[in-house]
Structure 1
Amino acid sequence: MDRIRTDLCVIGAGSGGLSVAAGAVQMGARVVLIEAGEMGGDCLNAGCVPSKALLAAASAAQAQRRGFRGVPGVDPAVDFAAVKDHVAAVIAAIAPHDSQERFEGLGCRVIRARAHFTGPQEVEAGGIRVSARRFVVATGSRPLVPPIPGLEAVPYLTNETLFALRERPAHLLVIGGGPIGLEMAQAHRRLGCAVTVVEAAAALGREDPEMAAVVLAALRAEGVEIREGVGVASVAGRAGEVVLRLADGLEVRGSHLLVAVGRRVAVDGLGLEAAGVEFDARGVKVDARLRSVTNRRVFAVGDAARGLQFTHVAGYHAGVVVRQAVLGLPARTRSDHIPRATYTEPELAQVGLTEAEARAAHGARLTVVRAGFDGNDRAVAGARGHGLVKLMVVRGRPVGVSIAGPAAGELIGFWALALAARLKLSAVAGTVLPYPTLAEVSKRAASAYFSPKLFDNPVLKAVVRVVQRVLP
């Protein structure tokens, strides 16, 4: 059996693993990268990239359907198979950046096989034993399939199989009203499918209810049926004829079924027990440095690190690990500045605390400020004046921001910087932005925090009157 000694062994070539490997090898470390599946992981092949490509096609179809004042809408002719060709082309265009060839060109040794630990400092993959000074578990996650009676006997889709479907579903049933379920529900509705979403709790239940309501109202207006507060008791049927029997006794029928109820961390079969690495169903148990609490040579990033399951979090984790494992510098994670976004139309984005979380944490010290897109000139000019920005402010600093409206995923970056740098709200209010832009809605919200202090302050008004009398 061949043996390799290296500085860093990265298990998993998704977003987090690739970022660790690229950063480490370009800084001079010896790196072995192990991947059993497709390079690029879930994000490239079955997640962020294909879903946004599908959403873009769906948005183009909806733009034709919607039209504009003076520009009559038309019923779009949707070639569903060609749309999937677009999705595949987008993946293919991005794939070279994540490819084995690129990483071998950078200097990594890439092993395309399943890895498992054989000891605290060694893994085996493809008949090769790799011993390393440090290991990074970056194995990501897989779709969670709930134990619903009858589901295993009925054909169903997950995000791993959905994008290969070339025939347009007549009626897509979606179990799960989270971001993935609702993004795909809206996309398929806009591409000509009937769509029904079933959610046992509240749709977008993790989000601020006021903001979620903006999104849900828009989807329902487009014809997406969303059933909340009722679970699926059982599933029956066959290909082309699926029946969901709900907990309230009703039945929902459709041609295709998408299961989108969450993700499960992919750490099974890694042999973490042999490495002395403590883990559970949520992933590797790590400290704030992302280092295993039971084996200091092993780090975990992304979904495998028991935290927020986002591609950008995996990239953030990669930087924290590289600083420690490659440069020997101290580094710790924080989560208060991590944004998230749901890419429906309108979009929904959040960074920091929601209103409910902020009230629980700060009580009477909290001030909540709102600014609607209906007061933003760029949004009104583009007939996109629905939605709002909500700021949670404590002693002049934002502790959370919620946005529901056009380009919310882009606009939240402004606030992610503010929270990451712990800026005061006065810095945001004092920023000069180009006019007219959607970004001005954020400045308007920040300015609204100061308005009562400036315009409803009798002491200030008295001072102004004195100043006006004495000014030459």
Structure 2
Amino acid sequence: MERIKTDLGVIGAGSGGLSVAAGAVQMGARVVLIEGGEMGGDCLNHGCVPSKSLIAAARAAHAVGAGAPFGVTAPGGAVMDFAATKDHVAGVIAAIAPHDSEERFAGLGVKVIRDWARFTGPRTVVAGNFEIRARRFVIATGSRPVAPPVPGLDAVPYLTNETIFALRKRPDHLIVLGGGPVGLEMAQAHRRLGSMVSVIEAERALGREDPELAAIVLEKLRAEGVTIHEGTALEGLRGTAGAIEAELDTGAVLHGSHLLVAAGRKPNVERLDLDRAGIRHDDSGITVDAGLRTSNRRVYALGDVAGRGQFTHLAGYQAGVVLRSALFGLPARVREGHIPRVTFCDPELAHVGLSEPEARARHGDAALTVLRIPYTESDRARAEGHGNGLVKVMVVRGRPVGAAIAGPQAGELIATWALAISAGLKMSAIAATVLPYPTLNELNKRAASAYFSPKLFDNPVVKRVVRTVQRVLP
């Protein structure tokens, strides 16, 4: 067995692990990167990249039949080539893959080991024929789909985000178990590509999101033909490939050709032998402190496996916190209130900071101002036929503490509020920004301006001052 001593051992070549490895080696550290699966992790191969590529194809298909309000019709409708759509998805992955590849990281000076890692002690890891001893380790092994305890699930074929993108034939009727972002994104995409789609959600669909804004998204999905069973439990499953039956607690039975399970994820910790390194963990992931250190002070954990959120951009942010601590020995703590999230349905649903209920609970009704700007106040939105959307901003003492947007390009528009909350900007900074006309981003400025409108236009003191000044001006 070959023994390697290094400054930093990174376990997992997903977005978080790659960010740590690339940053550390380019700043002079010796780095070993260990990955037993695919370089690029879930985001590149089974998550963000393929899903957004499929969504883009579905948007193009939908656009063919959505031109009637503009006087544009396509009598023949869209011609679907599902296999060609999947070629597009594969092509996007292939185009991005070199950035995450073993060859690129080896070229940067990283020692890349393609095998599964397991701890053999507080400072040592074995992977294949290598024993790695490092000053610090970073665990970034991500998460994977979890199968819920539904009777019959283990006896029927089902898809997850790890397998659905390999389909070459369009599902006739896709049954989706789970009404969260992944389930609904895939539901709408497949509906637009010609499949019948039924979603089963035991609680409220998009249950983490503001109900007022979630309703805008769900209304659009239902209008496009996606059947969503909310507050409905799945009693059992039966059938074979191409003929799946899902029995609901309402007594109804859904007959589908394919089943997609999108009902949660679990951290990838089983292979790691964490107990041998003194690293505490539970069902939600590895236990970390505010600096992302584990109970073994020489080991950090970040990304999905750290149990603090399952977003690629969150793992990238956490990588910067780890690098500050592990490379420079400087104090570093994660913040969480400025991390945005987006559900990439059409319309999109984006959020950052506190929701309205959270803001009321933390700051009280008296201190909180809630601003609501409908998309109809945007000339650009009207020109493009996007009347159904809403920007909601929570403000306390002149600073935004949360924002949520449902509507076209919400994922882009939320950037204004993510910056404002991260940097502690006041609403006045946004209100004073000059934006090009006509753009959707004017909605954010309208929200900021709406905060000051009562203070300026409904203020008797201001009116008296203006009248007085007008009398004395030459």
Short-chain TM bin: over 0.9
1:52 corresponds in structure 2 to 52
Deviation at 1:82, TM superposition (A): 0.5
Residue 162 of structure 2 aligns to a residue whose secondary structure is: helix
| Partner amino acid, structure 2, of 1:15 | S
The one of 369, 372, 377 equivalent to 1:370 is 372
Query: Is 2:153 the counterpart of 1:151?
Result: yes
| Rounded Cα–Cα distance in structure 2 between residues aligned with 1:192 and 1:291 | 47
- 2:309 corresponds in structure 1 to 308
Partner of 1:163: 165
1:315 alignment partner AA: G
Alignment match of 1:100 (pick from 96, 99, 102): 102
Q: Distance in 1 between matches of 2:196 and 2:160?
A: 18
Following superposition, the deviation at residue 324 of structure 1 comes to 1.0
Structure 1 Cα separation of the partners of residues 196 and 145 of structure 2: 23
**CA apart distance, 1:362:** 1.2
> 1: CA distance between counterparts of 2:314 and 2:356?
23
> Deviation per CA, 1:26-84, whole angstroms, max 9, x where unpaired?
00100000000000000000000000000000000000011151211441001001000
SS at match of 2:65: helix
Matched, 1:408 2:410: yes
Match of 2:438 in 1: 436
SS in 1 for 2:276: coil
Q: Shift of the alpha carbon at 1:248?
A: 2.1
Match of 2:219 in 1: 217
- What corresponds to 1:26 in structure 2? 26
TM-score, with structure 1 as normaliser? 0.99
Q: Which moved more, 1:53-62 or 1:375-384?
A: 375-384
In structure 2, distance between residues paired with 1:144 and 1:202: 19
Q: Does 1:229 align with 2:231?
A: yes
Q: Tell me how large the CA RMSD over aligned residues is.
A: 0.8
Partner of 1:41 in structure 2? 41
Shift, 1:455, TM fit? 0.8
Give the residue type in structure 2 aligned to 1:139.
T
Of the structure 1 ranges 447-456 and 204-213, higher mean CA displacement relative to structure 2 is found in 447-456
Equivalenced residues, count: 471
Three-state SS of the structure 2 residue aligned to 1:17 is: helix
Deviations 1:406-465 (A, max 9, x none): 100011111100000011111111111111111000000111111111111112111111
Which shows bigger deviation, 68-77 or 169-178? Answer: 68-77
Q: For each residue in 1:210-244, what CA deviation from the matched residue of structure 2 results, as whole angstroms up to 9, or x when unmatched?
A: 00000000000000000100110111111111111
Q: Secondary structure at the match of 1:269?
A: helix
5 Å-filtered alignment, 1:220-259, equals 220-259=222-261
Instruction: Using the TM superposition, give the Cα deviation of residue 361 of structure 1 relative to its aligned residue in structure 2, in angstroms.
Output: 1.1
The alpha carbon displacement at 1:147 in A equals 1.2
Q: Partners in 1 of 2:396 and 2:148 — Cα distance? A: 40
SS at match of 1:160: coil
Deviation >3 Å, runs of 4+: none
The CA distance in 1 between the partners of 2:462 and 2:78, in whole Å, is 58
Distance in 2 (CA, whole Å) between partners of 1:418 and 1:267 is 36
Higher alpha-carbon deviation: 321-330 or 229-238: 321-330
Q: What amino acid does structure 2 have at the position aligned with 1:107?
A: G
Structure 2 equivalent of residue 332 of structure 1: 333
3-state SS of paired residue (1:289): coil
**1:384-418 per-position Cα deviation (integer Å, ceiling 9, x unaligned):** 12201000011111000000001000111111000
> How far does residue 471 in structure 1 lie from its aligned partner after superposition?
1.2
d(CA) in 2 for partners of 1:262, 1:426: 40
Q: Residue type of the partner of 1:95?
A: A
Equivalent residue for 1:79? 81
Residues 74-114 of structure 1: per-residue CA shift (max 9 Å, x gap):
41001001000100000000000000000000000000001
Of the three residues 446, 469, 472, the one matched with 2:471 is 469
> Once the two structures are superposed, what CA deviation does each residue of 1:287-334 show, in whole Å capped at 9, x if it has no partner?
110011x21100001011110110000000001101111122221100
Shift of 1:363: 1.3
Alignment partner of 1:180 out of 165, 179, 182 = 182
Which residue of structure 2 lines up, in the alignment, with residue 286 of structure 1?
Answer: 288
| Unmatched segments (≥5 aa) in structure 1 | none
Which one-letter code corresponds to 2:205 in the other structure?
A: A
* Aligned residue identity for 2:61: A
The separation in 1 between residues aligned to 2:269 and 2:414, in whole angstroms, is 32
Q: Secondary structure at the match of 1:187?
A: helix
> Which deviations, in whole Å up to 9, do the C-alpha atoms of 1:151-186 show, x marking residues without a partner?
011000000000000110000000000000000000
- Secondary structure at the aligned position of 1:105 is classed as helix
Equivalent of 1:448 in 429, 447, 450: 450
**AA paired with 1:20?**
V
* Aligned AA (2:37): G
Looking at structure 2, the residues matched to 104 and 269 of structure 1 have their Cα atoms a distance apart, in angstroms, of: 25
- Specify every segment of 5 or more residues in structure 2 that has no aligned partner in the other structure, as ranges: none
1:120 aligns with 2:145: no
